[in-house]
Chain A
Amino acid sequence: MTTTDAPQAAPPPSGKRRIGDVVFAGLARSSGILILLILAGVAAFLIVQAWPSLSANTTNFLTTMEWDANVRENPAFGVAALAFGTVLAATIALVLATPVAIGIALFIVYYAPRKLAALLGYLVDLLAAIPSVVYGLWGIGFLAPQLVSVFEGLSRYLGWIPLFAGPPSPSGRTILTAGVVLAVMILPIITAMSRDVFHQVPQGHREAALAMGATRWEMIRLAVLPFGKSGIVGGAMLGMGRALGETMAVAMILSPSLMVSWNLLQSGNQTIAGHIALQYPEATGYGVSALIAAGLVLFAITLVVNMAARYVVARGIKEA
């Protein structure tokens, strides 16, 4: 590796640095560094403001389920129940969205008529353009009432699975509804990442498979999916990161609660992000600081998931 003193890449002929060049390069470099500082600042300010409540907390923050933080002294709160709800909702979303997203990506890249492919891809991207608060409104105003009968069917026929044990919530506002909405919201991300890698599959691989007499599906199974694995996994993890941090849809669909329940058809679960949004307006005493501590946990989880996702994608591209 050479020196990182970048502007030397194209030195002016006289060898003398022009003042404009120095200023402009300095501006560009400092805004790059500013971004790093902002990210560090996010972590630092969250830690500093979370500290008072964390040090005053009378119970273990990571294993406690209740949230008794809106007091002036001796708060007792923890994120255990919320972290459970967060991971549960994101997992439901991921399980529902990933297969569909792979199907959409395959459709757009290999099945759709060439002329229409770009337009159809744009339609899928439109799903990402709808604001999350509108998804939340759609979730409670339209989807939840529609899903009630589906939930009744699930509990009647699949009730022996603990996940679907009844009785289903009459309002339909459960973690499963939230998971369905989240799945719709992360669909475009996973699709976009999968599409990108499917486009990169070497034409030689595909044509070799077809020349051997493979059907279209055999070509995909033999040439496309092995090549695109890292992109699909990375895309799914990015989608997971988005689902973990998604706030509004969850806060609007789920009511404030602190239960840990495997029953997807009943209300009771809540996520970190939803809890913060619902509790913040009423927070007093140690309340705000405790919510910032919860946000710090969310930040840490999403940071790890996103960094892992980027790592997987980058490694996959390098290997290919």
Chain B
Amino acid sequence: MLNKKLFVLVCICLLCLVNRVAAQQVPLTYDKFEQLLEDLAPEDENLDYDAWFEYLSALQQDPIDLNAANYDELIEMRLLSDQQVNGVLYYRDYVGGFYNIYELQAVPELDLEAIRRILPFVKVKGSLTDFHIPFKDQLYKGDHQFFVRYTHLLQVRDGYKYNDESEPYYLGSPDKIYARYRYKYGTRLSYGITAEKDPGEEFFKGTEKRGFDFYSAHFFKKGDGLLQTLALGDYEVRFGQGLIMWGGLAFGKSVETIQIAHQGQTLRPYTSVAESQFMRGAAATLKKNNWEATLFASYKPIDRSATVDTLAIDDAGEIDGEVIIDDSGDNVTFYGYTQDGLHNTLTKIERRHALHQTDAGLRLAYNKRNLELAVNGVYTAFDENINLRTDALYTQYRFQGKSWSAASFDYRRVWRNFNLFGEWTLQSDNAYAFTNGVMMSLHPNLDISLLHRHFDKTYNSFYGAVFAESNSNPAGESGLFLGIAARPFPQWKINAYYDLYQYSWLRYGVNAPSRGHDRFVQLTYTPSRQLEIYLRYKSETKQANVSSAVLQTLQEEDNNDILQPFVQEETNNHWRLQVRYKPDKNWSLRARASGTNLLTPTAPTQTGYLVFQDIAYQPLGKPYDFTLRYALFDTETYDVRQFAFENDVLYSYSIPAYNGRGSRYYILVRYTLARSIDLWLRYAQTTYDDRDVISSGYNEIIGNKQSEIKAQIRFKF
């Protein structure tokens, strides 16, 4: 014991002398989270980051105790690689526990950057007092938060206007209202209610007498005995690599080229407002020694989708998801369901909650530090027959029937520098799929990842989210991913990946089995904590149908008889250059230029650009801060639109697409009215130079400006 203390003391003294990095506590700010998010999140407008941000915010208030943390809790932060988490746990076992946070620097797997990242979220206390607080104290001695968010578009869309004295198409006001109450006792206990009114939905009248269109409530408790986790109300379930079950955000191919495994806790509370991808009922995890069992059951109403006649074009005049436009067959029976959660027209109100979905499942896992093995089962049933196959050939292997079940086996094994993981599933209708990967740390400065996946064309999953080219519906895909992260020189980092994949069946917009590959490389130069410069290049090559316009031209030109769109190879090249700089602790600046060009054999190259500058002034200890952006964008077509993360009011995040030609700016201000009251105000405006009418159909706006105002107030008590 003495030896150990001596060892630690020497370590601390040395480390304090050599480097004082760990002494600087960095609070979680927008900037910090944004950076994490932007590095990890796929470019998509409709992702929901709440859960992750909330987890980190909760940890900031109640950091993880390094001496009590388990693998799941550490990996859930998504701030450390698997190797690093295991390094921390191994070190803890080796020395018998952390004495001081400075000891993190003695963990060989952790570099300074990693320590900086996790520092706000971890602590060394060496006590387990949290669990000894009586349950009834945990019930009310934590933090309460209540907030309301209001979003208003200054321009009026066509569907909200009285045309020729007829009633507007949408039932309610175009405003969006969101309200949430949440109680949290660290990460141990939480309960709350979330409510939302989407644009066009009525509010406390007409079809929405009960107020909001969507309500969600949860109660979530973690314990240390046999009952590890209890979830009541709305919750999310995550199994293995997400082949059959993965609630919430799942990351795919990103600049984090090594972190390709799905990791996280099996049960989580659900607090978002995506009105479909969650469980409603009860779930529990029981633990005995190395064995863990999770059971869940859920029953919830879902919306029926339109019938074939009206399906192709939805009420807003837009193409409805992956549904094919060409619906000539009249005897097709397509009984689907829709997940957009919008109930803003009479038709949608009729279809609301017309179906019910029952889900149940279990997971039995054997857990050791370096080994996890689990078997999972999921059963889903609808109260009437569902048929997701339309006339379109590409839907021919989709689900039909009343119930569905799947079993899977997943594993994770840490062996020396290797972390092996994977999942295999067998489903009703004999569909199968598997994914296997390995993350290797060949050298402290060189990591490699490799993943192979294969999905039968009949593969289905109602809640899955798996690492693949197409995260949401990878049926028929097989692929091989190779990722590299290297730090060849002290301030330089290279991240790169290559992904090769093919589909054994048709897909939406691809009238033949197809193949493709992605190449990605990013060079990051970080000469100091204040400055980061990166250059990114990504090229995506895949096959897709020739566009109908090109097809028509070809038909006219050659006077030939090409009737069906044929498949051709397209290459999308993206590049991006970004400079991020913090001249001091209050200011941060970010400038970016990005561009895309799309090369197809039958049409001229299409290009798109975006250039923007961000300025943020977030003075420490002042009751206010502000963020500004000005952007110019110019994209020839929607296919070369540009994505960029935008700052938003707390807990609201977006990565919108900049499409067309024009400029956009936003200003975001936060003001702390009192100790417990915060106010956010955001004004964003896009001005288009290439159009006088924005959007179309019922969403049409006359004019070239689109301005949105958003206000949020939060009470903490």
Q: Do A and B bind each other?
A: no
Residues of A within 8 A of B (CB): none
Residues of B within 8 A of A (CB): none
